Structure 1
Amino acid sequence: MRLRLAIVAMSLMFGSAYTLSSESEAKSLEPSVDVGSDLLNKMTHSHRELNYRAIVSYQVGDQLSSYRITHTVRDGKEFESLESLDGSHQDLVYHGHDVTCVHPGPQLIRLFGGEEEQGFYRYYDIDVKGAARVAGRDAITLMIRPRDVYRLGYKLSLDKETGLLLRSDIVNQQGKVLERFQYVMLNLDISADEAVVEDAKEVQHRAAKSGDKAALATSRTWRPNWIPAGFTLAQSENNDEAGMTYTDGLAVMSVFVEPLIPLENGGSSAIVEGGMRRGASVSYTVAFPEHGSFATVVGEVPMLTAKQVAKSLSWAAQ
């Protein structure tokens, strides 16, 4: 899941083709909410509508991995293979996803356009930082800075010709890069009939059923009493009785509740409260022995956010 999230800048983020009409138009780009909003909106779907093969690098802390991606669109459906180029060999095939399917992240970004006091744009400042060069292609860089302490920041480089996300740096409040995804080679001249990897594991998208969210909200006995403003409950296969997933358009955060393991002496297993970090991803666990459960919050958010959400959980009276 973590790699897939990085490749699309969060399975919630980026993908129609975006073309600047002329070099003079590119030079005329001025930093503004409108320009940044337009670029971000187009970025949310370009990666899903293009045919391409690419080599990408993915860095978490001091660990660096590389992959080959082949992505095609046939009859309105996405087909994508992901091949590991180092370490233990692993191939994935992702196919059958309708390109018209709208995910909650892109939906939040597109819904409010560039209105500063609405939705996604109320919680992030977006600046156009100008020209860049990534994977031998001209790019435009966006700086996305959170307006509060409950989110991380992003530095995104978009292909000038297509709007494809070529590089993504996720940074903390101090500007330190926690995680980086970057194209090192991109070939857009491939056929939609490109073959996928043989003998690879198949990964399929499961769409949520209408009405699931309301039904689960009624049946679930627990809920977080605090979620950062701007985060919306995402309706997906992850929102079962054990978990809830939230997004603000960029950041994704999930809350899971599991039962404590009973012991032979009649007690239950001890859970030590605390958090862990790997790159931009954190987890924070809190025990609720009075309810025979423990909660874990995971996501690409600051540790402060995960901790406050986990400790805010409450249970309905039985």
Structure 2
Amino acid sequence: MILRLAIVAMGLMFGSAYALSLEPELASLEPSAETGSDLLNKMTHSHRELNYRAIVSYQVGDQLSSYRITHTVRDGKEFESLESLDGSHQDLVYHGHDVNCVHPGPQLIRLFGGDEEQGFYRYYDLEVKGAARVAGREAINLMIRPRDVYRLGYKLSLDKETGLLLRSDIVNQQGKVLERFQYVMLNLNISADEPVVEDAKEVQHRDNKVGDAALLVSQRTWRPNWIPAGFTLAQSENNDEAGMTYTDGLAVMSVFVEPLIKAADGSPAIIEGGMRRGASVSYTVAFAEQGSFATVVGEVPMLTAKQVAKSLSWAAQ
């Protein structure tokens, strides 16, 4: 408490002077000649190809968490650890992820990078919004605004030198920040042999390519009859009928179908409705006649999740 009061007091005393001294510094940063699509393409590579250690903060609503990230590339393989600095979260570590592995979202962004009237760029407006400083680094601000009501917006700050994403705000249609990720410290001068976290849980990664899951759609008895334009089927969670995942290059949305849970009197125990946590939403609909219920989860507006969930239909058996 004493430390917190001291920080507040210093902020009151020096806040105005600091703000005035910072403005000329930001103004002196040279504007970027790169386009929005150039910056996005650079971003999709940078975080996977650099060696770095960082402290990051992650805010959802009024909940704030902090983590230490260590990322290295050795012999074309990625190694990354994520250590929680507060709470009781378990530490995670990625081992041996091939840097050439195809990720659906970045692939969609790069796929249409040459023509901003197609694909990803048909559904978002990109605008370079000048310079900033994040984690002591010169950064370039990039605004990504959806062209329809079925997506969220993004305010990104990218490292000017490397393209690394230093800050990301996910915002709703009214511009309210739903979720924020931000680097508060970044060290790009670490060795590729930097050790990962001891006793951390290893996370398995599956290589999923855009379009692979389309081969399995015909085997399913259910499917959504409406998906927002621009979303592409990216992967299947399993080879069964559990779920399908869609992405437009930024937003990710999954559809899951499970056996219907029933109450003691035989009526459906599932109540239609949605929940939100930060930028993530879920919407559930019961299909009693099919003995199933569907849930759509993703970083999309509730309207989108609801319409997708309610559009599901089953093939005649």
Shorter-chain TM-score category? Answer: 0.7 to 0.9
Which among 25, 29, 32 is matched to residue 29 of structure 1?
Answer: 32
Residue-by-residue CA offset, 1:101-159 (whole Å, 9 max, x unaligned): 11110000001115221000000000000100000000000000000000000000000
Structure 1 residue 29: Cα displacement: 3.2
Secondary structure in 2 aligned to 1:105? helix
Residue-by-residue CA offset, 1:8-31 (whole Å, 9 max, x unaligned): xxxxxxxxxxxxxxxxxx73536x
Which moved further from structure 2: 144-153 or 208-217? 208-217
Q: Aligned residue for 2:16?
A: none
Which residue identity lines up with residue 222 of structure 2 in the other structure? W
Residue-by-residue CA offset, 1:287-318 (whole Å, 9 max, x unaligned): 00000000000000000000000000000000
Equivalent residues in 2 for 1:111-260, closer than 5 Å: 111-208=111-208, 213-237=213-237, 240-260=240-260
Cα distance in 2 for partners of 1:211, 1:162 equals 30
Aligned 8 A contact 1:82 1:92 in 2: yes
Cα distance in 2 for partners of 1:237, 1:108 equals 19
CA gap of 1:197–1:171, structure 2 versus 1, over 3 A, is: same
Q: Aligned residue for 1:293?
A: 292
Which residue identity lines up with residue 302 of structure 2 in the other structure? M
Secondary structure in 1 aligned to 2:105? helix
Structure 1 residue 207: Cα displacement: 2.3
Q: Aligned residue for 1:39?
A: 39
Aligned 8 A contact 2:268 2:286 in 1: no
Which runs of 5 or more structure 2 residues have no equivalent in the other structure? Answer: 1-28
Residue-by-residue CA offset, 1:49-97 (whole Å, 9 max, x unaligned): 0000000000000000000000000010000000000011421111111
Aligned 8 A contact 1:239 1:245 in 2: no
Aligned 8 A contact 1:139 1:160 in 2: yes
Aligned 8 A contact 1:216 1:241 in 2: no
Which residue identity lines up with residue 190 of structure 2 in the other structure? I
Which residue identity lines up with residue 29 of structure 1 in the other structure? S
Residue-by-residue CA offset, 1:185-235 (whole Å, 9 max, x unaligned): 000000000111111110021224999624421221000000000000002
Q: Aligned residue for 1:310?
A: 309
CA gap of 1:141–1:274, structure 2 versus 1, over 3 A, is: same
Which residue identity lines up with residue 233 of structure 1 in the other structure? L
Secondary structure in 2 aligned to 1:235? strand
Structure 1 residue 45: Cα displacement: 1.2
Q: Aligned residue for 2:69?
A: 69
Aligned 8 A contact 2:275 2:282 in 1: yes
Query: Number of residue pairs matched?
Result: 289
Cα distance in 1 for partners of 2:42, 2:209 equals 27
CA gap of 1:133–1:209, structure 2 versus 1, over 3 A, is: closer
Which runs of 5 or more structure 1 residues have no equivalent in the other structure? Answer: 1-25
2:41 equivalent to 1:49? no
Secondary structure in 1 aligned to 2:64? strand
Aligned 8 A contact 2:237 2:245 in 1: no
TM-score (norm 1): 0.87
Matched-pair identity in %: 89
Secondary structure in 2 aligned to 1:110? helix
Equivalent residues in 2 for 1:69-88, closer than 5 Å: 69-88=69-88
CA root-mean-square deviation: 1.8
List structure 1 segments (4+ residues) > 6 angstroms apart after TM superposition: none
Which moved further from structure 2: 208-217 or 156-165? 208-217
Cα distance in 1 for partners of 2:301, 2:238 equals 21
Cα distance in 1 for partners of 2:183, 2:75 equals 26
Aligned 8 A contact 2:212 2:234 in 1: no
Q: Aligned residue for 1:110?
A: 110
CA gap of 1:97–1:236, structure 2 versus 1, over 3 A, is: farther
